[in-house]
């Protein structure tokens, strides 16, 4: 069973038929066992935890030691969103909760990782 690296081609109206035929041939090679495709399994993580207004404020003040506007900038949200979370008027979405989880796990590493972007 051979593993040859396939070059990516830009699809144009001139080469569409040729690329379609080549793809069909690759699919047949796989189906007949001539080629084995690389595959990996990935275990998906649980959803991020919910955060109370007290927990959010503790992360901001104790772990990061930043103001609400700076915290908002770190999380790529508005300062009014942070205020609403800390008052218990609203809750962060899933992506923001995942960021809070990462901050909680290792605040220094988190800040270092986003400062090099």
- CATH number of the domain within which 72 lies: 1.10.260.40
Is the CB of residue 111 less than 8 Å from the CB of residue 67? no
Is the CB of residue 82 less than 8 Å from the CB of residue 71? yes
Which residue range is the domain that position 98 belongs to?
Answer: 53-115
Is the CB of residue 71 less than 8 Å from the CB of residue 110? no
Which distant-in-sequence residues (6+ apart) come within 8 Å of 85 by Cβ?
Answer: 51, 53, 56, 91, 92
Is the CB of residue 56 less than 8 Å from the CB of residue 92? yes
d(CA 65, CA 53) in angstroms, rounded, equals 16
Asked whether residue 46 is domain-assigned, the answer is: no
pTM of the model: 0.65
Place 2 in a pLDDT band, splitting at 50, 70 and 90. Answer: very low
Interval 4-32: pLDDT, tens = 555 677 888 888 999 999 889 988 988 89
Please tell me the total count of domains within the chain: 2
Q: Mark whether 70 and 107 lie in a shared domain.
A: yes
């Amino acid at each position: 069973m051979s593993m040859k690296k396939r070059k990516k081609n830009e699809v144009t109206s001139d080469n569409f038929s040729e690329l379609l035929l080549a793809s069909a041939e690759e699919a047949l090679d796989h189906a007949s066992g001539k080629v084995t495709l690389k595959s990996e399994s990935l275990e998906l993580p649980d959803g991020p935890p919910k955060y109370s207004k007290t927990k959010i404020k503790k992360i901001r003040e104790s772990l990061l030691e930043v103001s609400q506007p700076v915290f908002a900038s770190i999380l790529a949200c508005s300062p009014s969103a942070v205020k609403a979370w800390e008052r218990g008027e609203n809750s962060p979405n899933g992506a923001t909760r995942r960021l809070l989880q990462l901050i909680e796990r290792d605040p220094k590493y988190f800040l270092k990782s986003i400062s090099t972007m």
